Structure 1
Amino acid sequence: MVAFSLATGLRKSNVTGLCWSQVDLPRRLAWIHPDQSKTRKAIPVPLNDDAVRVIALQVGLHPARVFSYKGEAVAEVTTAAWYKALKRCGIDDFRWHDLRHTWASWHVQNGTPLNVLQELGGWESAQMVRRYAHFSAGHLAAYADKLPTSTGARDVAGVGAVLV
């Protein structure tokens, strides 16, 4: 379920509550119903290779729910097993929701436009998505270079540059 959360950015309740009726593996798509989303709007969830692999491993384990443990639908994930796993990994102060933040940060770092990330994550406002904007500044470099130099030095690589 951790790998699925990192692949989709879904909230904990959306992962634990995901039913087979919400998954279309051939189309590589899942969806969250409006009554299951924080914003009360449906969320389409495109499934990348990692998400498809995780779901494929769950086929046939439970008749209704995608994620199960010993034949029973998973209702809660932050159990003693979760905390023991964090301890084994040397991770302190980490919540399941931090997986969603990691997913969003990875998207920004890899160039996903913020408006696309907003749709992928089902955020209602751009303000919520802007929390991740600081993870990528590469697209700003071209604009920073538009300013004239105040020193007259044009070659900052060192070839003929004179800095004041």
Structure 2
Amino acid sequence: MATIVKTPAGTWKAVIRKTGWPTNAKTFRTKRDAEDWSRRTEDEMVRGVYIQRSGSERLTLEKALQQYLREVSPTKKPTTQRAEATKAQQLIRHLGKYSLAALSSEVIANYRDTRLGSLTNRGNPTSNNTVRLELALLSHLFTVAIQEWGLGLTFNPVLNIRKPSPGEGRDRRLSPEEERRLLAAVNNHSNPMLGWIVRIALETGMRSSEITGLRRHQIDLKRRVVRLSDTKNDSARTVPLSRLATATFQAALENPTRPQDCDLVFFGEPGKDGKRRPYAFTKIWGVLKKKFGMPDLRFHDLRHEAVSRFVEGGLSDQEVSAISGHKSMQMLKRYTHLRAEDLVGRLDRIKKLKTA
């Protein structure tokens, strides 16, 4: 039998001591609530289905996310760590005071709808993909809490709600005139590394972080390949180089301003600690694209452009994914946007072959 006593504060405390189970105690406003909880808990113990829920009832989402960022995020890439810290801020802002036990599917669905209807700092609606990634972080937090933290959670409430669609993806392509102006601008920049990086992105479809993080030993000009080990999806791949990409890398490797002790292909100025890190061009990229009338162009759009050109050039999906590193054909299609006018000539060639 449980022991139920009145506390000096006027509440009622129920204490259950049962052989084979840890002592369990909980405080309630009324004696009736304490008795009901005691009977229900003892019955679960007898049936062997009791789960200690006090941990999830005491731990708020704010505290849980802080623990996640301390223990789980450091096992991931630095870029992922920064992204998760940003997503955690939004979750804490809206749901931080809830205990994990109180975060029902209904509460989380309401969060989803609130975020989708809210505006970002730039005055734009919060994108489906942003909310989807926030929910992904929350879902993984519950998975870790269930599997590793022993908080008494029995299910992941995020799994029971509808996730926002990731959308069709961006379809920003470069027109010939835009490419001409862009290349002229970056090639005339005082630091030649900016022009080399942009050209390599257009020729290879490599991500910005993959290009700027390159070391000299990863580039094999004789075989015309670049070997990538540190990628977004953690899958190493070898990227073939066009003649233009090979010539661009040749120029970058022969950069006369590179210090002899620096192995980075694209390097920045030494930091306060004296170490050189990858060349950071985000600020100048933002200035140049606005100056030349392309404010909506993101550097990542160059990857889209390169992948689309691979497909337009006749490479198969498997060949393109081997170059770009996409793990699924679905993701590859989201990155591929073909110009209908560019396909007209290919259609004509196909018909000629059939009638020949």
Give the TM-score of the pair, scaled to structure 2: 0.36
Q: Is residue 2:280 matched to residue 1:84?
A: no
Match of 1:53 among 236, 247, 259: 247
Q: What are the superposed Cα offsets for residues 97-137 of structure 1, whole Å, 9 maximum, x if unpaired?
A: 11100101111222121121111100000111123265475
Quick one: higher RCO (CA 8 Å, sep 6+), 1 or 2?
1
CA shift, 1:73, in A, is 4.5
- Please tell me whether the aligned partners of residues 114 and 133 of structure 1 are also in contact (alpha carbons under 8 angstroms): no
Q: CA deviation at 1:59?
A: 2.0
3-state SS of the aligned residue for 2:253? coil
Corresponding residue for residue 31 of structure 2: none
Identity of aligned residues (%): 29
Describe the SS at the equivalent of 2:252.
coil
Describe the superposition over 1:27-63 as per-residue Cα deviations: whole angstroms up to 9, x where unpaired.
Answer: 1111110xx1122111101111121111111224353
> What is the DSSP-based 3-state SS (H/G/I as helix, E as strand, rest coil) of the residue aligned with 1:10?
coil
Higher helix share: 2
- 2:277 and 2:200 mapped to 1: Cα distance? 16
Query: What residue ranges of structure 2 are gaps of 5+ in the alignment?
Result: 1-196, 271-275, 352-356
- Answer yes or no: is the 8 Å Cα contact 1:22–1:30 preserved in 2: yes
TM-score w.r.t. structure 1 length? 0.74
What is the match of residue 93 of structure 1? 296
* Residues matched between the structures, number: 141
| Residue 266 of structure 2 corresponds to residue 67 of structure 1 | yes
Tell me, in whole angstroms, the C-alpha distance in 2 between the residues paired with 1:103 and 1:123: 13
Q: Aligned to 1:116, what secondary structure does the other structure show? A: helix
RMSD: 2.5
Tell me the amino acid that sits aligned with residue 243 of structure 2. Answer: D
Over 3 Å counting, the alpha-carbon distance change for 1:85 and 1:125 in structure 2 is: same
- Tell me whether 6-15 or 59-68 shows the greater mean CA deviation: 59-68
Shift of 1:68: 2.9
Return the index of the structure with the highest Cα Rg. 2
Matched to 2:249, the amino acid is I
- Counterpart amino acid of residue 90 in structure 1: G
Which residue among 209, 222, 233 is the counterpart of 1:26? 222
Partner of 2:71: none
Instruction: Specify every segment of 5 or more residues in structure 1 that has no aligned partner in the other structure, as ranges.
Output: 144-164
Contact 2:268–2:279 at 8 Å: present in 1 too? no
Counterpart in the other structure of 2:315:
112
SS at structure 1 position matched to 2:239? strand
Query: Quick one: distance in 1 between partners of 2:201 and 2:337?
Result: 20
Q: 1:73 to 1:48 in 2, by over 3 A?
A: farther
Q: Which runs of 4+ in 1 moved over 6 A?
A: none
